[in-house]
Structure 1
Amino acid sequence: MSERELREKMAEHGRSLFDRGLTSGSSGNISQRLPDGMLITPTNCCLGRLDPDEISRLDSAGNLISGKPPSKEAFLHGAYYRSRSSEQAIVHLHSTWSVAVSCLSDLDPENVLPPITAYFVMRVGRLPLVPYFAPGDMQLADAVEQSVKSARGALLANHGPVIGGRDLDSAVYAVEELEETAKLYLMLRELPTRFLDVDQVSDLHARFPS
């Protein structure tokens, strides 16, 4: 895809996420890796009203080349890309159900959500919990960089999900699947529930390697 096409796709996905209530106000950010840097949504912008021409272009050192000033969480995206060379796009949201799960006190920090559905296993897989850091704290970048070395995504405590994909479509599908799984998890917490077992999960990994 050309840079222009990538910018337009970012705006299209941002509008879709906003219109369906997966992000609100000026929360959340989207990025796309480039050979010499990244495109990332601007700071204090609404994903539902992205202007493709205003999307920030950063060089490989994080300097602004064009567009509006970048998201305050651009450093988080840079940290993710440093850890996962195969992922080409990232979505970070403050989506309701995922944030709700991130606030629970009894989570397994190594893998927050159980394997409720096959598509969660295929599109997200293991989901570690990153401890809480204040917005803008550079320790958050270090924590994310470590957490995603062995996982496609992470859940930031009291904050929200960050997840990548081989392209922008894949990253968006993954964060959508994560949000739906978080919703299911909270709906099922008081009910006897049958999760996928170890063999079923292993079979999915073999059939659909990431």
Structure 2
Amino acid sequence: MKSAKKLSTPFSPSIGYFNIENINNLSHLPPHESTPLTETAALGLLETWHTSSPPKLPPNFSNFSVIETQATKPLGKGRPSGGLAFLINNSLIKISSIPHQSKNTIAVVCTCLHSALVLCYFPPTNIGQEAMQQDLAIIEHIIEQHPNASSIIGGDFNARVGNLGATDEDMQLYCPAYRNASDKTINKRGEELLDFMTQHDLILANGRFQGDEEGKFTFHSQQGKAPLISFSLTQP
């Protein structure tokens, strides 16, 4: 499993993003890992690999409703791929609309938080690249349709941005101007993601806030490679 990311402010509940690598793993987390997740207002799960709806949640998530898209079943042998599940804590927030729900992206609008929450997964393939370009255009439309809402976007983009993503000096009231990153590589997807962030005043949270000051790796391959490919983006 890949590490969870949480975004929060002193004035709002936290939003979590977790590449779970099989939604059944949610039932096997130790208490020190599962308890903070049950306290989130919304929890976005990626690579759930589930192929039946709705996915079964552990008892300690009984107050969560699920907005989901199933994983893709393989033609032959092998596990399913993808799958998204946005878990909404009904005791903390209410969803007013679901402007987009697809294989790669789920977007919800929460008026009580004055936020548009987006969960994304774009696999490291040409199809994933095309999906990212298409869905970023959809996310752009959602942002434009909700100008009074802050946008919080999280997920696995399979993009690499190095330690780029510095903000203007006038943004230092909200966050540090510069961010750290253990992964120094930049790829084409990363450049596209940074361009999108700049256009819409989004801040890259990784490597910038308490709990991830170093910009830790978000993926470890069997070959030992450990890029930073999962991100949380937010507006101040």
Indicate the TM-score class for this superposition, using the shorter chain for normalisation: 0.3 to 0.5
Q: Normalising to structure 1: TM-score of the pair?
A: 0.32
Which of the pair is proportionally richer in strand? 2
* Highest RCO, 1 vs 2 (Cα 8 Å, sep ≥ 6): 1
When normalised by structure 2's length, the TM-score is 0.30
Q: Which has the higher helix share?
A: 1
